[in-house]
Amino acid sequence: MRFEQAELLGNYLAAIFHGDNGARVGETAVVSRKIHAVDPRAPEDIRVITGADAGEVFYRRRTPGEVVHMDVFHEVAEVNHCLVAKAIRGVFEEDPRWRGLSDYVDVQTATGGGRITGSLSYGDKQSLRRAHLNHVHVAALLGDSDLPLVFSIVAAVESEVQAQGYEIRRVERVLHERRGGRGRADMSPYQSFSDSMLQGEAPPQGEGPLEQQSDLQKAMELSDDLGSVEEVSEVLEYLAEDSDLHHLMTSLARKNANPSEIIDILVNKGLARRDGWRATLTPEGWRLRNFFRLHRREIEMHFRRLIRRIPAIATPKDKTTYSTNASRKCGGKVKRKLAPPEKDEWLSNIAIPETVLNACRRAFASGGGAVGISAEDIVLEKRLRSNPVDVCLLIDASASMAGRRIQAAKYLARHLLLATRDKVAVVVFQESSVKVHVPYTRAYQRIESGVLRIQPLGLTPLAEGIIGCLDYIKASRVKNPLMLLITDGIPTVPKWTLNPIDDALQAAESIPAMKVRFGCVGLEPNKSFLDSLARKAGGTLYIVDELDREALATIAHRERSTAS
């Protein structure tokens, strides 16, 4: 499309928008600055609700007429939103005049959504995805002079939908209705969290859904730094009620051995100010504290989504595997099965050859004639999942694990529960004892309450930890156990003799006999001992530069893949 043509079409759209109307672009798309509604009784007709500004409804923007709303319709399908976003980004990259606008474009399909230049890990609420099974939604912050982009965006979306193997659907009519009329739309299925940069001003305190993007971002960053939403909320409440820093640091020390680091984080982020042994929240700190009070549940849901993500692969410094005669379950290829759909099941992944064959057989059995596919012919291709793993994290909670290391171990417990179908248990050894902080569970709250009670202190009774963990696994009668040891040191407390190292090696010899898969994560200075330990246990040793979250999650998933 030549620039003169695009500019002429842009002027045409601007005139339509100024009249509070919407328009059909091509045969498949409806564009306006309003919200759109579809009547299930007439899906070919799209209603533009002229009294409902898209920017105000979707993003609580104070000024109407800023956001362009585009819906591109297609057959019922789960269109990959990441590929659609990539196609739209290509439109902005073609012309340097518009590259800066790509951050202000959102996309949503039946597979998810978010800002096209962001992580695209949002919009996964079930009602939101279901509402976009028949169209691609695009919202963009475009002025009148930017409207020529609309035609290129629609064309890019149509091409991508077809490239994914789906048919685009013709829009027969665009109707216009006023707010409060028969076509008024219920927008609740469209409410969700996002990384959108289209968000308007924050609503008054206590009003509206979680749409204060800057506060949400700060809440997520602080929760990530401190390890959990609960710990952030506790610290902010304590600072709001008691400015005696000594009391706060004493309280934090019982849960985490580095309270000074937490206070420094709050000060550096401008959330608190410190004056000797007195500490107070800044106005920004009070705002965030109120935000946590109002939106605690939503923040926790958002934070769980963050923990659930598989992190970027972190390559261990060294990996060594030792085999034993103990029976092992090896992961194979992912298998699939064919089965008819269950009642009310969504017809995705239809096995086309088998479905057509069923229709042909039915037609032949009834005397021949035209072949038509009916509901009884449909066969779905369903994935057979691998066996879940019963993961038992054996965590060294000696004093040297305090700070980032113990936070990484706690993160791993949360991550495995949210990112897998495995049961997860947490066994902790420290000083001269072993304690099951989290019994085998699939309940996130049990994980959360269990790991929050872990307080690093004392020495390293590794032999006691291994035997205690084996006893617990045996008593639990789990079917596919994996013991993953996380430690930053060598044993310092004996069990049977006066030599803690010999005792730990002797304890490791019991692992193969129990048919428990064993993995160990440790640091370079202790490699020689840990190598002997993994050899005795017939397991796998991973040496890392540091016990950080990415390394632990990567290793855990590798061990799971061989145990499933």
Are 469 and 434 contacting, i.e. CB atoms less than 8 angstroms apart? yes
Kindly give the parts of the chain with pLDDT less than 50. Answer: 3, 180-186, 188, 201-211, 256-257, 325-334
Would you identify the CATH topology of the domain 213-308? Arc Repressor Mutant, subunit A (1.10.10)
What is the bridge-based pairing of β-strands 540-544 and 517-523?
A: parallel
Closest of 482, 486, 497, 438 to residue 460, by C-alpha: 486
361 phi-psi bin (left φ>0, alpha ψ -120 to 50, beta other): alpha
Residue in this structure with the two tokens 């106005």, named with its chain if needed: 283
Query: In this structure, are strands 135-141 and 278-281 parallel, antiparallel, or unpaired?
Result: unpaired
What confidence score (pLDDT) does residue 541 get?
Answer: 94
Nearest partner of 447 among 401, 395, 382, judged by Cα: 395
Buried b (16+ CB within 10 A) or exposed e, 31-53: bbbbbbbbeeeeeeebbbbbebb
Q: Are 522 and 488 in contact (CB under 8 A)?
A: yes
Residue ranges of domains in the chain: 3-190, 213-308, 335-384, 390-563
Helical packing angle, 283-308 and 404-419, nearest 10° = 50
Fold held by 390-563: Rossmann fold (3.40.50)
Determine the Cα–Cα distance for residues 14 and 10; give it in Å rounded to an integer: 6
Q: Which amino acid is at 8?
A: L
DSSP state of 204: P
Sequence-ordered list of residues with C-beta below 8 angstroms from that of 347, at least 6 positions apart, any chain: 341, 378, 380
Do residues 419 and 388 touch, judged by C-beta distance below 8 A? no
CA distances from 334 to 338, 339, 382 (A): 14, 17, 11
CA distance 564 to 561: 5
pLDDT of residue 385: 54
For the beta carbon of residue 308, count every other beta carbon within 10 angstroms.
14
